[in-house]
Structure 1
Amino acid sequence: MSLLALPDNRFIDVNESFLRLFEFTREEVIGRTSLDIGLWSDPTAREGLLEKLRAGEPVRNVELTLRTKSGKTRHVIVAVETLSLGPHEAWLSAVVDITETKDLERRLLENERLAAMGRLTGYVAHEINTPLTNISLLAATAAKRSQDPEIVSRLEKINAQRRLIGSILQDLAGLTRPPPIQPVETDLRTIVDGSLEQMEPYLHEGVELRKEAGSPVVADVDPRRIQQVLVNLTKNALQATSNGTVTVAVEDRGDTVALVVHDTGPGMPPDVLEKLFQPFFTTKPKEQGTGLGLAFAKSVVNAHGGTIEVESELGQGTTFTVVLPKIPSPP
């Protein structure tokens, strides 16, 4: 709970539950506003709440997304009462943390969505693979019989599109069932090096690609799969950043290891962050992606028993962190 004095909306008291939830000390909160301590993920939500309170409307069970001192997102339900406090008024607010409930709902919906997609993918793959094979054979036969370079070039473009369709079907299949992993003892610095070697096509003027990898960081991972994840994250970061740096780092965190990709790009708003790992969701133009890369990356990390986290703020850039156990466990 918290108590805010009007009209400045400054905290004059908070209880221990509030401090634990948002990771502050009492000294960091008292005398300051919620904006001062960076509590709001979306300042427009604050304005909407203030409008209701100033109009005398009841505030009961309002769902908000707030931020802790360390930048973590907390989904909460808020209720506010207006009290008389001497010659002035104050707002007494009660906050209930529903983050775990929201995460559970999201995972259940995601599992249902993937199950439905798995059934659809199986049917689509069965129906499409035969004509795709026929297209490939017909295009190859026509290319062998033609002496016209333009026709041969067009046939190769047809074949390239056929391969793209096959790749999308393969990615879809990988999303609907945990990808098989073959963990071996690996120094993650070699994965970083291998990933950065593939970034040449995505480097551009105004952006520096940096590596932070010091002493060996060893874990049992599937190096090919984890490299696919890191390539995807680094490529996305380079494409999102028009000026500044993209930094790829590896960290030893005791029982776990972490691969961190940070960019100084434009950042992402909360509504985009919520949908980021959904299949087919993308902010890129159609020709630059299918919206399956991050969903596939998450499925690979989950198969290792790890997590993939993202922190982003508009105008401040984005950080993806892949945390993996040193010895993989079932997701």
Structure 2
Amino acid sequence: MDTPTVILIALASALVAALISRVYSLGKIHRKLNYMLDALEDKETNFHFSEEKFWYRRFNRTLNRIHILYDRERQEIAEQEQYYGQMLDQVRTGIVVIDLSRKWEGQVIYSNASARNLLGLATFSHIRQLGNIHQELENAFWEVSSAHEQRNSYYNERGKITLSLTASEAMLQAKQVKIVALNDITGEMVHNEELSWNKLIRVLTHEIMNTVTPIASLSHTLSQELDLETSARSLDWKELKLGLDTIASSSDGLIKFVNTYRSLTRVSAPVKKAFFVRELIEKVQQLTRESLHQAGAVCSYVEKSEDILLYADADQLSQVLVNLVKNALQAEATKIEITAEIDYAETVVITVSNNGRPISAESQEEIFVPFYTTKPEGTGIGLSLSRQIMRLHNGTLTLGRSDKRMTTFILHFR
């Protein structure tokens, strides 16, 4: 074999070897790239390519740099998500993000702390959980949309809760989602109800007083004149005087009646000062001791948090609590328990429970309405006045429950 032929064969062998080496190197590079992409897609970042071998040092170094940049970017995004999550947890509006995709429909992707607190849920993973609270609440979450606000009322350990729900739809990570905002409008509803009744009471008071006052004055005047008149013997003055006295007496009673209800619209502003709740309860127990003794009942106090302080008008709050205790005694209760605690929102909650006759389902909706009473000698202003006092303290008074086992009223101070 001549020299040129040998040279050609050597060159061809070298070319083939180079091609094989190149194909092998490209295959290895391709496998490394696929491995890294698969790992990043699975959110697995615990890998590192060796930079010791000469042939792949520069390439592996480049891959490791890409990995570092990706990991840094992912950490910054996670920190931003944590920051926005903490911001959303601080707002009082509840936020719930719901998956609307066919496969995961109804699954809760995100809920902030306010939403879970409003709904009374430790964890919130699916809308179906709301059916355990109130079926209509679950339906409201399904039906709420950007065009239709939903309102729903239900009872929990805090009493009657009214929520306002609004929603909008968006795309999140290629998924169609519904973002629901929920707000507790219980205080607003109660406030509007009280304003309406206050307007009505003012009108009634004005009209009745304008009518009754002249009648009472005239009746008293005529009665006094008849006592001095002796000349006219043809009329039965005794009978006339008796009738006028009756009118005067009835008018006085009606004026007293109206003045009693007038107190509903003229609750004085609270004179607030700091005091311990246990001191307030001791005062209430002292004020109701005789009534409790006569009824053979016991009123106990349980403080679930230590040294609970209130900044309020102690006299007005004692009036509220005394009214609740007396209502319990009128319902033939033998055990009355008052509790106080600081809840998850760092607000003071006082409950008054008794084992007396339960309030009927019909009456539960009306007991806070002025003039409403189920007692023969009741005025119907006790609970209305108590609720107004709580309103002046930026708090609420609600009926937590009333059944054969227990009736509980809840005072919540915000």
Shorter-chain TM range is 0.5 to 0.7
Question: If each structure's strand is expressed as a fraction of its own residues, which one has the higher value?
Answer: 1
Alpha-carbon deviations, 1:122-152, whole Å to 9, x = none? 34234324545777997xx99xxxxxxxxxx
Task: Sort the Cα spacing of 1:11 and 1:257 in 2 relative to 1 into closer, same or farther, 3 A.
Answer: closer
CA–CA separation in structure 1 for the residues paired with 2:309 and 2:130 = 42
**Larger relative contact order (CA 8 Å, sep ≥ 6):** 1
Matches within 5 A, 1:81-160: 96-100=181-185, 103-104=187-188, 106-129=190-213, 131=215
Task: Sort the Cα spacing of 1:279 and 1:193 in 2 relative to 1 into closer, same or farther, 3 A.
Answer: same
Task: Sort the Cα spacing of 1:192 and 1:198 in 2 relative to 1 into closer, same or farther, 3 A.
Answer: same
> What RMSD over aligned residues (CA atoms) do the two structures have, in Å?
5.2
User: Paired residue for 1:288?
Assistant: 377
Q: Which protein shows a greater Rg?
A: 2
Q: CA deviation at 1:121?
A: 0.9
Alpha-carbon deviations, 1:212-255, whole Å to 9, x = none? 17798776765554433222211222334x566222356689x9
User: Paired residue for 2:321?
Assistant: 230
Give aligned-pair identity as a percent: 18
Q: For 1:298, which of 387, 401, 407 is the aligned residue?
A: 387
Look up the equivalent residue of 1:179 and give its one-letter code. Answer: S
User: Paired residue for 1:317?
Assistant: 406
Q: CA deviation at 1:312?
A: 2.3
Look up the equivalent residue of 2:119 and give its one-letter code. Answer: F
Kept in 2, the 8 Å contact 1:310–1:318? The answer is: no
SS at match of 2:288: helix
Task: Sort the Cα spacing of 1:97 and 1:68 in 2 relative to 1 into closer, same or farther, 3 A.
Answer: farther
Alpha-carbon deviations, 1:183-217, whole Å to 9, x = none? 6777414421333135259836xxx4322177987
User: Paired residue for 1:65?
Assistant: 153
Q: CA deviation at 1:280?
A: 1.8
Alpha-carbon deviations, 1:67-90, whole Å to 9, x = none? 5686662424489xxxxxxxxxxx
Q: For 1:239, which of 330, 336, 343 is the aligned residue?
A: 330
CA–CA separation in structure 2 for the residues paired with 1:162 and 1:216 = 51
SS at match of 2:285: helix
User: Paired residue for 1:82?
Assistant: none
Unaligned runs of 5+ in 2: 1-96, 168-176, 228-244
Using structure 1 for the length normalisation, give the TM-score: 0.58
Look up the equivalent residue of 1:290 and give its one-letter code. Answer: T
CA–CA separation in structure 1 for the residues paired with 2:183 and 2:165 = 7
Q: For 2:289, which of 179, 197, 221 is the aligned residue?
A: 197
CA–CA separation in structure 1 for the residues paired with 2:151 and 2:259 = 39
Unaligned runs of 5+ in 1: 5-9, 54-59, 80-91, 143-154, 326-331
Using structure 2 for the length normalisation, give the TM-score: 0.48
Q: CA deviation at 1:268?
A: 6.1
Kept in 1, the 8 Å contact 2:159–2:398? The answer is: no
SS at match of 2:268: coil
